[in-house]
Amino acid sequence: MSHDSAPLVVVMGVSGSGKTTVGRLLARRLGVPYAEGDDFHPAANVEKMRAGHPLDDTDRRPWLEEIARWLAGHADSGGVVTCSALKRRYRDRLVSAAPRTLFLHLDGSPELIAERITARQGHFMAPQLLRTQFADLEPMGEDEAGAAIPIDGTPEETAALAYAAVTSA
């Protein structure tokens, strides 16, 4: 990362991995704007997920385009946005809009994440959708900019690992 530009980060991973919590902590520590990826979903997508139906690529397209637009708009100022970004082609789309985007994959076992989702209130992700998310997850390739961040610790510990990954990139 060059020191004349603030980092541009996508905090990615399956639902329940801690994207929102870690993303907010990371943005605060980096001193850059934060955006919640879920806020970019059209209402129809939210309803579909609430009903327990996974989104398909057609559903995801307008959502990814909005996140790509946000990244492009923050290319100079830097920022942190959450986005599941489970598939390589989704990440490629985001990088095409903002080439210096770094991906931080919040990485944890299906068991740990299922436990966290079950304990969580007021979120529209149905726990049964977790299986489809893990099935869709394509781990980052060697040629992708970013890092996998283990989520076994507290949110603060995870955010500290994320910060270290960003500042050493």
pLDDT digits (tens, 9 = 90+) for 65-98: 999 999 999 999 999 999 999 999 999 999 999 9
The model carries a pTM of 0.91
- Residue 111 burial (C-beta neighbours within 10 Å; 0-12, 13-18, 19+): exposed
- Tell me whether residue 122 is exposed, middle or buried, using C-beta atoms within 10 angstroms of its C-beta: 0 to 12, 13 to 18, 19 or more: exposed
Q: What is the pLDDT of residue 2?
A: 42
The residue among 57 and 68 whose pLDDT is bigger is: 68
Task: Give the whole-angstrom CA distance, residue 55 versus residue 42.
Answer: 12
What are the tens digits of pLDDT across the range 147-168?
999 999 999 999 999 999 999 9
pLDDT at 3: 44
Q: pLDDT value at position 122?
A: 58
Comparison of pLDDT for 1 and 52, the residue scoring more: 52
Of 19-28, 50-59, 93-102, the range with the lowest mean pLDDT is: 50-59
pLDDT value of position 4: 57
Decide if 9 contacts 106 (C-beta within 8 A).
no
Query: What pLDDT score was predicted for residue 42?
Result: 92
Q: 102-146: per-residue pLDDT in tens?
A: 999 999 998 899 888 777 765 556 666 788 889 889 999 999 999
Average pLDDT for the chain = 91
Which of 8-12, 54-58, 159-163 has the lowest average pLDDT? 54-58
DSSP string, the chain: --TTS--EEEEE-STTS-HHHHHHHHHHHHT--EE-GGGGS-HHHHHHHHTTPPP-HHHHHHHHHHHHHHHHHTTTT-EEEE----SHHHHHHHHHHSTT-EEEEEE--HHHHHHHHHH--S----TTHHHHHHHH--PPPTTSSEEEEE-SS-HHHHHHHHHHHHHH-
Helices 88-97 and 57-73 cross at an angle (nearest 10°) of 30
